[in-house]
């Protein structure tokens, strides 16, 4: 172990780094959910109600929109996780003793992060009713009816959220690990010399290493989606062709990262340890298990360096929300950038020499 200093350093450093990183980053108390507002009333009463939502600490108003359709679009694109819609006759209903309906739309694809928003919205309605009823003696109907609408996962089933994410996690776990050992295995078996004397270029060698696993990744994704639909009734509301196209980009990015790891290490044991050091942050910081909205800024920033973060947004956007490339293109572009950059680094790191 003393002679193999790289392996020893990885074994000692990985637990320390993971403890500090994940102990600091993993939180489940989601606060300050990005929220858009369509206030069709624009009155002091409606502004007081919006302030009541903000004062809970669960809603952070990020935009005030001009139509109900704009609210739906913002939630579908993921720029907001909740929307508040106040009708134009809100103050008149309160003044005339009628119940004033207010709608709160919550993106419920992640049951863990949406439950606090659903509870807070219902709590705002109760507090407003108590305040208004105490000020108007003899009133027989509730002044405010806050109608909370969980969208995309109205049953708050965890399987609907977890199963699409499993596609990305399984692809990351298997493909990175397999390709991380590709070059190292050749070196340990003594077959790297045969590759060195061939006339193929470094780029052709790297592409040849990952090409068979592209088909493996597509088969894995198809299997998970089929079983998810059959066993857990996970919906597929978007374009299947778009889903496979983006998955192909993510597979190439994962395989390229595995190849990059294989150019950094000397043994298969080191490759396995380095791969798991990469896989665990993907599971914990990408939004697969824990809501990114609850993480501190540093953890969210690290998550932006992981391809799985973007792939999960695309997966859930297509499967659960049915959105198209027009809403997902920033995440698709990020995945393509990761794939191209990682392949470039792997080719640059690899030299057709035994050293």
d(CA 273, CA 268): 9
CA R_g for the chain:
25
Q: What is the DSSP string of 182-221?
A: HHHHHHHHT-HHHHHTSS--HHHHHHHHHHHHHHHHHHHH
Quickly state the pLDDT bin for 310 (edges 50, 70, 90): very high
Distance of CA 54 to the CA centre of its chain: 25
Angle at 251 between CA 275 and CA 192, to 5 degrees: 60
pLDDT tops 90 at residue 170? no
pLDDT tops 60 at residue 352? no
pLDDT tops 90 at residue 180? no
Quote the tokens at residue 273. 């340890």
d(CA 282, CA 307): 8
Specify the pLDDT at position 34.
Answer: 87
pLDDT tops 80 at residue 16? no
DSSP summary character for residue 243: H
**If DSSP codes are grouped into helix, strand and coil, which group holds residue 42?**
coil
More confident residue, 13 or 106: 106
Q: What is the pLDDT of residues 231-271, one digit of tens each?
A: 888 888 888 999 999 999 999 998 888 888 888 877 777 78
| Cβ count near 69 (within 10 Å) | 10
Query: β-strands 100-107, 33-39: how paired?
Result: unpaired
Contact 133, 139 (CB under 8 A): yes
Average pLDDT over residues 38-53: 87
pLDDT tops 70 at residue 79? yes
Residue 302's alpha-carbon distances to 50, 169, 279, 305, 343, in angstroms, are 33, 17, 13, 5, 21
Q: What is the pLDDT of residues 111-148, one digit of tens each?
A: 777 777 788 788 887 777 676 665 555 555 567 778 88
d(CA 261, CA 330): 26
Percent of the chain with pLDDT over 70: 86
**If DSSP codes are grouped into helix, strand and coil, which group holds residue 238?**
coil
Tally of CA atoms within 13 A in the half-sphere of 35 that contains its CB:
30
DSSP summary character for residue 154: T
SS (H, E, C) 307-340: HHHHHHHHHHHHHHHCCCHHHHHHHHHHHHHHHH
d(CA 220, CA 207): 20
Average pLDDT over residues 315-322: 88
Burial 125-150 (b: 16+ CB within 10 A, else e): beebbeebbeeeeeeeeebbebebeb
Quote the tokens at residue 213. 């696993």
Burial 14-50 (b: 16+ CB within 10 A, else e): eeeeeeebbeebeeeebbebbbbbbbebebebbeebb
**Cβ contacts of residue 282 below 8 Å, gap of 6+?**
168, 169, 172, 288, 306, 308
Specify the pLDDT at position 241.
Answer: 92
More confident residue, 112 or 43: 43
Average pLDDT of the chain, as a whole number: 81
């Amino acid at each position: 172990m003393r002679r193999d200093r790289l392996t020893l350093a990885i074994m000692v450093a990985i637990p320390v780094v993971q403890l500090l990183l994940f102990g600091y980053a993993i939180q489940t108390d989601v606060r300050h959910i990005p929220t858009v507002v369509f206030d069709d009333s624009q009155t002091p009463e409606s502004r007081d109600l919006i302030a009541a939502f903000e004062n809970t600490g669960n809603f952070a108003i990020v935009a005030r929109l001009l139509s109900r359709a704009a609210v739906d679009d913002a939630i579908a694109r993921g720029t907001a996780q909740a929307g508040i819609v106040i009708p134009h006759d809100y103050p008149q209903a309160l003044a005339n003793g009628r119940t004033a309906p207010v709608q709160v739309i919550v993106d419920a694809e992640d049951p863990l992060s949406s439950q606090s928003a659903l509870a807070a919205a219902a709590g705002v309605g109760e507090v407003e009713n108590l305040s208004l009823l105490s000020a108007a003696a003899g009133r027989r109907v509730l002044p405010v009816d806050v109608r909370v609408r969980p969208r995309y996962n109205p049953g708050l089933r965890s399987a609907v959220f977890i199963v699409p994410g499993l596609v990305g996690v399984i692809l990351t776990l298997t493909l990175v690990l397999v390709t991380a050992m590709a070059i190292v295995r050749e070196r340990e078996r003594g077959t790297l010399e045969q590759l060195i004397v061939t006339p193929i270029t470094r780029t052709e060698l790297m592409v040849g290493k990952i090409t068979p696993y592209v088909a493996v990744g597509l088969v894995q994704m198809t299997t998970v989606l089929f079983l998810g639909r059959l066993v857990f009734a996970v919906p597929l509301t978007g374009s299947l062709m778009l889903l496979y196209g983006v998955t192909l980009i993510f597979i190439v990015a994962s395989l390229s990262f595995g190849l990059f790891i294989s150019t950094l290490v000397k043994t298969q044991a080191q490759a396995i340890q380095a791969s798991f050091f990469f896989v665990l942050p993907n599971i914990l910081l990408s939004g697969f298990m824990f809501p990114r909205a609850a993480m501190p800024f540093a953890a969210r920033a690290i998550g932006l360096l992981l391809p799985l973060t973007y792939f999960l947004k695309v997966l859930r956007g297509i499967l659960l929300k049915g959105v198209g490339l027009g809403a997902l293109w920033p995440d698709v572009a990020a995945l393509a950038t990761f794939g191209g950059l990682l392949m470039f680094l792997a080719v640059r790191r690899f030299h057709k020499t035994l050293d």
